[in-house]
Amino acid sequence: MAVNNTLDSNQPVNTRALINKKKRSKSYSVMMEKLVSFILFLIAAVSVVTTIGILYTLLSETIAFFKEVAFIDFFTGTTLKPLSKNPEFGVLPLINGTIFSSLIAMLVAGPIGMMTAIYLSEYATERVKRLFKPLLEILAGIPTIVYGFFAFTFVTPLLKHVIPSLETTNILSPGLVMGVMIIPMIASLSEDAMNSVPNSLREGALALGATKLEVTFRIVIPAALSGIIASFVLGVSRAIGETMIVTIASGSTKNFTFDITQSMQTMTAYIVEVSGGEAPAGSTIYYSLYAVAMTLFAFTLLMNLLARYISRRFREEY
């Protein structure tokens, strides 16, 4: 009986201690949740702050450039002579070179990447996939400067046997090599899009008597169209932003021409050239670096926005 009295007298003390311990534990958990949430917010904000910093830098220097060069002259001029006695700053030769190199690259990467994706998704066995996937990853992992020297020292001399008028530096050779570089991106993204199509659609079409080729082009590709188009748009964006291949193999001649056998310069190659130290800080040519970079930024931003719009517009949900 005495023992029971002792336990009864201690029971309120133990309950209160447990309640206090629970409160302290809950308070600690709440504090840790808030701390983790704040840390994750800071990490997520890094990309936003970085983007804002890049935009501020580009805009501030670009505005300084357009105080010295007319906006219309910059975007409509076909002559770019930044180092002459009477400098001219027309960006059209750079846009022309960028568009041609990207177009050539997509003419190579588009069909080959798409056919590769179709084969890996619909026709290849698991054994073949295990062989092809690492090869595609190796192709994607080659440094772009290696591609540039490959275009300059191998592809260009090879093309000269077919096109004798081809210049040593031209836009055709780097465009072709850029296309080879972009193949893994288009193939991988397109294959993922096609693999996401439910097998029930394939089986239903096959049960109705369709061939495998008909299933691929009439069922799978239309169902995966949003992802396939997005891969193409991202490939174009990758081609527009490529630097080392065109810097090495396309030359630095600022021609406004439609002849792909001649030397042209892209926007990225011009940025590399001006960044090399020829332009003193505060000069017009120095500010032109930022104006071209802002134009390039606008191009890639539009491509990415277009890819997102297409993905949402043509997305199929099952």
Residues 170 and 233 in one domain: yes
Confidence at residue 86, expressed as pLDDT on a 0 to 100 scale: 81
Question: Does residue 1 lie within any of the structural domains?
Answer: no
pLDDT tens digit sequence for 239-252: 988 888 998 988 88
Give residue 28's domain range. 12-67
Tokens of 209: 């008597």
Residue 88 parent element (H or E): strand 88-89
CATH of the domain at 232: 1.10.3720.10
Residues 111 and 24 in one domain: no
pLDDT tens digit sequence for 153-209: 999 999 999 988 888 889 999 999 999 999 999 999 999 889 888 888 888 888 888
Q: Average pLDDT, stretch 93-119? A: 93
Residues 114 and 248 in one domain: yes
Question: Does residue 3 lie within any of the structural domains?
Answer: no
Confidence at residue 3, expressed as pLDDT on a 0 to 100 scale: 45
Residues 275 and 142 in one domain: yes
Domain count within the chain: 2
Residues 247 and 154 in one domain: yes
- Block residue for tokens 């043509």: 314
Tokens of 206: 């096959």
pLDDT tens digit sequence for 117-133: 999 888 888 888 888 88
Q: Which residues of 260-278 are buried (b: 16+ CB within 10 A; e: fewer)?
A: bbbbbbbbbbbbbbbeeee
H runs (alpha helix) in 170-258: 172-195, 199-207, 212-215, 221-223, 225-240, 244-249
Has residue 24 got a pLDDT over 70? no
By three-state DSSP, how is residue 263 classified? coil
Question: Does residue 7 lie within any of the structural domains?
Answer: no
Question: Does residue 5 lie within any of the structural domains?
Answer: no
